[in-house]
Structure 1
Amino acid sequence: MIIALIGQIGVRIIIKRMNAKNKKTLLIVLTVIILSTLTLGLVFGNRIIAYFRTWVSGRNKAVMDFIRHPEEHGDWELEALSRCGDAPFVLPTNGFIGYLYNDSFTPLKLHTGLDIFGGKQVGQTPIYAPYDGFLTRENDWKSSLILRIPEDPFNSNQQIWVYMTHLADVQGNSLIEASFPPGTSELAVRQGELLGYQGNFSGYPGSPTGIHLHISIVKDDGHGKYLNELEIQNTLDPSPYFGMPLNAANALESSPACEVQE
């Protein structure tokens, strides 16, 4: 408070000693600074809040605890292929849903999907198709798959995509089923079909991430292609698709769970 008051007095003294031209220039500069600050707050404010929210929620600590001692947290795990109530999607893999949609690991980056940690070694936790659709694996994809769903179960007039990644080991050796080689395009798969296994490939050989599945629901571009999954505005909240609170903006619990059993 005292520092701010001294600063205000200092600015007033400087302005008084300036001529009219310099005063006008200073006012313009101050106006630009204020407007820029407000704009940055509007653009990045929610992202900065999300970053602190992720820490406050305890999810970072919970994820590290689970990775180090999964045997102590079996009650956090959800079962693969389980369905919550009448939700359209089944859980694609067994494990702890550690990070949610809208979580944040860095101040300006929002998490676009879910991270499900299996608690086992690389290549041991199966991953299944969460819904019927048409599977694509681009030619250069070592650890990723994307499932096209022609009719969104909540809006039959729109198409959605389900992106899944980290299906490779630390060096990028694929853990995707051999029936889905690079270049696979529009191959029909059924809900519950085995797609591959959880891995720890980060995209950079020799620099592993935690062993998990990242899954996100991606919007269509309106011309039959998926949008960039890295941008939060191109993705959908997975909560209704899995029938449980999975949006970090609303769910503060460290261990998501289905509140309605079939």
Structure 2
Amino acid sequence: MKRVFPLLLGGAVIAGLVVGYFWFLNPRRTANRTTRVVQFIRNPQNYADWMVRAGTRCEGAPFAFPTDGYIGFLWDDSFRPGHRHTGLDIFGGTPPGQTPVYAAYDGYLTRLSDWKSTVIIRIPQDPLQPGRQIWTYYTHLADEQGNSQIAPQFPPGTSEVFVEQGTLLGFQGNFSGTPGAPVGVHLHFSIVKDDGQGHFLNELEIGNTFDPSPYFNLRLNANDNPPVPQVCEPADGQVKEQP
């Protein structure tokens, strides 16, 4: 399983949340976003206007947001030297098992037999480039001990089950891949390339993933240094930029 950041215990625990401080950082890229993530996790009720809402879409975007929460870390963020973040981290601001996760787009869901917290959805026709196959990857859907919070209709070994956009996949969790060493409660979402033979590539490599910005019609590439937080008004598609 993918571990997004080390978690230091200690400090406030609010509503069962483990509040982490991320110390392997490239400050030029992530310091501002890290500060915002810690602020949000500690007091999510104070920052409701930072959140995207599950099932909504920015104007012209093919993908719907897969969960409620604050998009804390972006594609190609860097948490430590040499690290490149391959997707989005969306923090729900709740304990594990409470914030639902939904399919961002229609496709065919697979859950490998050893996946405790992950599902992947094959999209045969990329909505931005017809004829190209892509995959959407959802992880951290388990509690800190690895107890799965994936929807029960997708047990281990599930293969190629069709799901529509908006289908419930499970709930945000904090499983890092190592029992007892949790990450902050969130969804990690990425868009993974196909190998050309009908299989997904290794999601851990940035070169095997796509920038999600055009799929959500939102500036989600860390290299663009977008303002934080990033949300949109679904009615008119205008990005709402907070100071």
Q: Calculate the TM-score normalised by the size of structure 1.
A: 0.79
In structure 1, what is the equivalent of residue 192 of structure 2? 218
Structure 1 position 196 matched with structure 2 position 178? no
Percent identity over paired residues: 58
In structure 2, what is the equivalent of residue 158 of structure 1? 132
Contact (CA 8 Å) 1:59, 1:254: kept in 2 or not?
A: yes
The separation in 1 between residues aligned to 2:89 and 2:197, in whole angstroms, is: 29
Structure 1 position 170 matched with structure 2 position 144? yes
How many angstroms does 1:54 deviate by? 2.2
Q: Whose helix proportion is higher, 1 or 2?
A: 1
Partner deviation per Cα, 1:73-131 (whole Å, 9 max, x = no partner): 11101111001002000000000000000111001000000000001111000000000
The separation in 1 between residues aligned to 2:89 and 2:156, in whole angstroms, is: 23
In structure 1, what is the equivalent of residue 22 of structure 2? none
SS at match of 1:60: helix
Contact (CA 8 Å) 1:142, 1:174: kept in 2 or not?
A: yes
SS at match of 2:222: coil
Contact (CA 8 Å) 1:54, 1:60: kept in 2 or not?
A: no
In structure 2, what is the equivalent of residue 53 of structure 1? 28
Once the two structures are superposed, the pairs formed by residues 59-74 of structure 1 within 5 Å of their partners are: 59-74=33-48
The separation in 2 between residues aligned to 1:260 and 1:202, in whole angstroms, is: 33
The separation in 1 between residues aligned to 2:53 and 2:33, in whole angstroms, is: 20
How many angstroms does 1:67 deviate by? 1.0
How many angstroms does 1:254 deviate by? 2.0
The separation in 1 between residues aligned to 2:235 and 2:82, in whole angstroms, is: 37
SS at match of 1:67: helix
The separation in 2 between residues aligned to 1:182 and 1:241, in whole angstroms, is: 28
The separation in 1 between residues aligned to 2:43 and 2:127, in whole angstroms, is: 37
1:70 maps to a residue whose letter is P
Partner deviation per Cα, 1:201-231 (whole Å, 9 max, x = no partner): 0000000000000000000000000001011
Please, which runs of 5 or more residues in structure 2 have no aligned partner? 1-24, 237-243
1:159 maps to a residue whose letter is Q
In structure 2, what is the equivalent of residue 128 of structure 1? 102
Please, which runs of 5 or more residues in structure 1 have no aligned partner? 1-49
Contact (CA 8 Å) 2:29, 2:225: kept in 1 or not?
A: no
Equivalent residue in structure 2 for 1:251, among 212, 216, 225: 225
Contact (CA 8 Å) 1:244, 1:259: kept in 2 or not?
A: no
Structure with greater contact order relative to length (CA < 8 Å, sep ≥ 6)? 2
Structure 1 position 75 matched with structure 2 position 52? no
The separation in 2 between residues aligned to 1:130 and 1:102, in whole angstroms, is: 20
Equivalent residue in structure 2 for 1:88, among 62, 76, 90: 62
How many angstroms does 1:259 deviate by? 5.5
How many angstroms does 1:260 deviate by? 5.8
How many angstroms does 1:261 deviate by? 2.9
State the structure with more CA Rg. Answer: 1
The separation in 1 between residues aligned to 2:27 and 2:145, in whole angstroms, is: 32
Size of the alignment, in residue pairs?
212
2:90 maps to a residue whose letter is I
The separation in 1 between residues aligned to 2:115 and 2:43, in whole angstroms, is: 31
Partner deviation per Cα, 1:110-166 (whole Å, 9 max, x = no partner): 000000000111100000000000000000000000000001111112100001000
The separation in 2 between residues aligned to 1:128 and 1:55, in whole angstroms, is: 27
SS at match of 2:26: helix
Once the two structures are superposed, the pairs formed by residues 4-19 of structure 1 within 5 Å of their partners are: none
* Runs ≥4 residues deviating over 6 A: none
SS at match of 2:214: helix
2:189 maps to a residue whose letter is I
Partner deviation per Cα, 1:22-65 (whole Å, 9 max, x = no partner): xxxxxxxxxxxxxxxxxxxxxxxxxxxx9333235x00100111
SS at match of 1:249: helix
